[in-house]
């Protein structure tokens, strides 16, 4: 809860005033039975109607002040809980944005989604309840016990004997409840994962008629949450019946013991009336405290999951901000694995000089996209180093370093904003750069035909565009920043040959100084590359230009022969 206090600390003044108001409002509830006892014991026997009316008005005033002050305090508590949870959500989102790809992959998107939503909501509920009932209930409990001691010590001692039992039961149940709430949140993670997969794969699910199968799969995850919720609910809800049982047994004891004391002349019957009123207050306060314990248990489980994210060390510290422009990139004996013992790319060695073009080709799973992820610093090599102008990229500020790149992947995301916003993508708008980007990517051909032009709002994930139109917007986004190094990962696969040729010609003309890395599935797309890497099973098995590789009896020639419709005898 230390982190939560950091958010609340700036509202200490408001918190103090709120606590004072809450205490005054709660004390009004404690005064009422005393006034009632005085009226029954002292005033009614004298038949003093005026005093009864005046004391009745005093009771109404106390009740009004109690309600008013509690409402004011509760509004303040809701405000502080809202602000604290808002700041916590903001900081958590900021932390998630800074996570490395390795950490992000390890944790997973579904659990991050539940932590920033459900877990923070649980914390919000606990903060509000602690301020509302966490202050009021102990005052009512302690104040009620104090008033009982004032009224009659022996009866109060009988009631006090129940408190240790109540505390022991509450502790044991709460202790066992916290792990169960963690299990519920984990089950929520799995359900969100299923929802996310169904959302992303809705087309293929419908195309292959897998709706029934996915419904069963979702029901299985939903049933798992339901069962865990039932088990936890049975455990945590057992607090209230136990408290009721203990306190009602105490109530029976008070009535019996109180009756004997009345018969013996030790106390008057009005004392029993007041005592029962305070007993009811103590009962409600105890039940309120159990609700607080339940919510704190749930919030503790959620807060632990949130703190696990904050505990992840920063990606890099003491980074070099002095990054030269148009630097040379070199891979020096680079190997890498995704958290497994065995590497998936091995001993990568090559150099990309300024303004040079590099093509990469190979079968699926050969390590082409992994190479790009390593180049961008998304992952750190398990062996070797990647250098930019003789500086290890692990020592460079990633935000500055990545500004050198313009990237277009085959399945990049488009957002439900305007075409212009998707291309500019939060960067400073420059009309000249924007026009050059859409002209080079050939996106201007279809943008000019739209009613709202570049201000046309895209549907979610760009579903109101064709595949080729999406790719042209993604290419324009990569080009807009006027990058020094362009990376195209099979990002022209949806373009027809004519549009692809126009794009390549415009690219050479408008961005002549930019280095380029092109990952392609078609060997013919790499004919104009200065250098080509052929990858297979994580290794660079061939390298050279199109002409030299075409003459070798290797994988590149096999791919080229197959794609040109020929047959190679050695295949």
Q: Give the pLDDT confidence of 329-359 residue by residue, as tens digits.
A: 899 888 988 766 677 888 888 888 888 889 9
3-state DSSP call for residue 529? coil
How many angstroms separate the CA atoms of 41 and 43, rounded? 6
Q: What is the mean pLDDT of residues 115-122?
A: 85
> Is the pLDDT higher at 239 or at 307?
307
Query: 99: burial class by Cβ within 10 Å (0-12, 13-18, 19+)?
Result: middle
Q: Which residue, 197, 228, 10, 240, is CA-closest to 110? A: 197
Q: What pLDDT, on the 0 to 100 scale, is given for residue 566?
A: 54
- CA dihedral (149, 151, 152, 157) positive or negative: negative
Sequence-distant (≥ 6) Cβ neighbours of residue 380 within 8 angstroms: 102, 394
Per-residue pLDDT reduced to its tens digit, 125-151: 888 888 888 888 888 888 888 888 887
**Residue 317 in this model has a pLDDT that exceeds 60:** no
Highest mean pLDDT among 88-97, 225-234, 274-283, 405-414: 88-97
How many angstroms separate the CA atoms of 488 and 495, rounded? 13
Q: What pLDDT, on the 0 to 100 scale, is given for residue 320?
A: 65
Q: Which residue, 505, 558, 550, 543, is CA-closest to 527? A: 550
How far is residue 564 CA from its own chain's centroid?
49
Tokens found for residue 297: 């248990």
Mean pLDDT over the full length of the chain = 82
Total Cβ atoms within 10 A of residue 134: 21
Q: What pLDDT, on the 0 to 100 scale, is given for residue 321?
A: 74
Percent with pLDDT over 70 in the chain: 96
pLDDT band at 568 (very low <50, low <70, confident <90, very high): very low
pTM: predicted TM-score of the whole model, two decimal places: 0.69
Domains of the chain from N-terminus onward:
2-181+237-310 (1.20.1560.10), 329-563 (3.40.50.300)
R_g of the chain computed on alpha carbons: 35
How many angstroms separate the CA atoms of 496 and 501, rounded? 9
Q: For the sheet containing 531-536, what is the strand order?
A: 405-409, 485-489, 515-519, 357-361, 531-536, 539-544
How many angstroms separate the CA atoms of 136 and 22, rounded? 7
How many angstroms separate the CA atoms of 326 and 512, rounded? 12
**Residue 105 in this model has a pLDDT that exceeds 60:** yes
**Residue 571 in this model has a pLDDT that exceeds 50:** no
Per-residue pLDDT reduced to its tens digit, 471-480: 888 888 888 8
H-state helical runs in 2-108 = 2-8, 12-38, 49-98, 101-107
Per-residue pLDDT reduced to its tens digit, 162-200: 777 777 777 777 777 777 877 887 788 788 777 777 777
How many angstroms separate the CA atoms of 226 and 231, rounded? 9
Q: Which range has the worst mean pLDDT, 178-187, 388-397, 545-554? A: 178-187
Give yes or no for a contact between 284 and 247, defined as CB atoms under 8 angstroms apart: no
- CA dihedral (139, 143, 144, 146) positive or negative: positive
Q: What pLDDT, on the 0 to 100 scale, is given for residue 221?
A: 84
How many angstroms separate the CA atoms of 331 and 256, rounded? 88
pLDDT band at 316 (very low <50, low <70, confident <90, very high): low
Query: 471: burial class by Cβ within 10 Å (0-12, 13-18, 19+)?
Result: buried
pLDDT band at 1 (very low <50, low <70, confident <90, very high): low
Phi, psi of 475 (to 5 degrees): -65, -40
pLDDT band at 91 (very low <50, low <70, confident <90, very high): confident
**Residue 318 in this model has a pLDDT that exceeds 60:** no
Q: Which residue, 418, 339, 412, 350, is CA-closest to 384? A: 350
Percent with pLDDT over 90 in the chain: 0
Q: What is the mean pLDDT of residues 456-483?
A: 83
**Residue 570 in this model has a pLDDT that exceeds 60:** no
Per-residue pLDDT reduced to its tens digit, 40-76: 777 777 777 888 888 889 889 888 888 898 888 888 8
**Residue 207 in this model has a pLDDT that exceeds 70:** yes
- Residue 535 sits at the vertex; the CA angle it makes with 534 and 539, to the nearest 5 degrees, is 130
How many angstroms separate the CA atoms of 424 and 528, rounded? 29
Q: What pLDDT, on the 0 to 100 scale, is given for residue 144?
A: 82
């Amino acid at each position: 809860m230390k982190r939560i206090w950091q958010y609340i600390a700036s509202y200490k003044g408001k918190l103090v005033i709120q606590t004072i108001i809450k205490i005054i409002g709660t004390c009004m509830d404690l005064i009422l039975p005393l006034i009632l006892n005085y009226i029954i014991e002292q005033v009614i026997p004298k038949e003093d109607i005026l005093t009864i009316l005046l004391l009745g008005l005093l009771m109404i005033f106390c009740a009004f002040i109690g309600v008013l002050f509690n409402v004011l305090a509760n509004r303040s508590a809701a405000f502080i809980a809202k602000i604290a949870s808002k700041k916590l959500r903001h900081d958590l989102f900021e932390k998630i944005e800074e996570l490395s790809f390795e950490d992000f992959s390890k944790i997973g998107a579904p659990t991050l989604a539940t932590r920033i939503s459900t877990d923070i909501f649980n914390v919000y509920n606990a903060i509000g309840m602690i301020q509302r009932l966490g202050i009021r209930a102990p005052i009512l409990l302690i104040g009620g016990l104090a008033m009982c001691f004032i009224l009659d010590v022996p009866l109060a001692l009988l009631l006090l004997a129940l408190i240790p039992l109540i505390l022991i039961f509450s502790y044991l149940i709460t202790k066992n409840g916290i792990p169960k709430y963690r299990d519920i949140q984990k089950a929520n993670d799995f359900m969100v994962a299923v929802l996310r997969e169904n959302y992303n794969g809705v087309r293929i699910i419908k195309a292959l008629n897998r709706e029934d199968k996915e419904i069963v799969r979702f029901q299985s995850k939903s049933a798992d949450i339901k069962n865990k919720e039932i088990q936890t609910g049975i455990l945590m809800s057992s607090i209230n019946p136990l408290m009721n049982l203990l306190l009602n047994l105490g109530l029976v004891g008070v009535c019996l013991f109180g009756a004997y004391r009345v018969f013996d002349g030790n106390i008057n019957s009005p004392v029993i009336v007041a005592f029962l009123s305070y007993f009811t207050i103590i009962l409600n306060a105890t039940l309120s405290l159990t609700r607080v314990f339940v919510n704190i248990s749930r919030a503790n489980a959620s807060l632990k999951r949130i703190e696990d994210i904050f505990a992840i060390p920063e990606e890099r510290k003491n980074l070099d901000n002095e990054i030269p422009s148009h630097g040379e990139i070199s891979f020096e004996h680079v190997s890498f694995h995704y958290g497994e013992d065995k590497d998936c790319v091995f001993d990568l060695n090559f150099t990309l000089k300024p303004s040079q073009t590099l093509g990469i080709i190979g079968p699926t799973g050969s390590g082409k996209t992994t190479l790009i992820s390593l180049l961008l610093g998304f992952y750190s090599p398990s062996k070797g180093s990647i250098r930019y102008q003789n500086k290890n990229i692990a020592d460079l500020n990633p935000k500055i370093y990545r500004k050198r790149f313009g990237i277009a992947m085959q399945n990049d995301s488009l957002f439900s904003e305007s075409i212009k916003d998707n291309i500019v993508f939060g960067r400073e708008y420059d009309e000249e750069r924007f026009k050059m980007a859409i002209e080079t990517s050939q996106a201007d051909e279809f943008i000019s035909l739209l009613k709202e032009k570049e201000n046309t709002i895209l549907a979610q994930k760009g579903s109101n565009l064709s595949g080729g139109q999406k790719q042209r917007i993604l290419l324009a986004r990569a080009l807009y920043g006027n990058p020094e190094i362009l990376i195209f990962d099979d990002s022209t696969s949806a373009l027809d040959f004519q549009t692809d040729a126009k794009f390549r010609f415009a690219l050479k003309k408008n961005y002549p100084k930019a280095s380029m890395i092109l990952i392609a599935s078609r060997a013919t797309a790499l004919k104009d590359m200065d250098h080509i890497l052929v990858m297979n099973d994580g290794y660079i098995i061939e390298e050279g230009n199109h002409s030299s590789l075409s003459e070798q009896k290797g994988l590149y020639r096999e791919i080229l022969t197959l794609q040109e419709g020929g047959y190679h005898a050695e295949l």
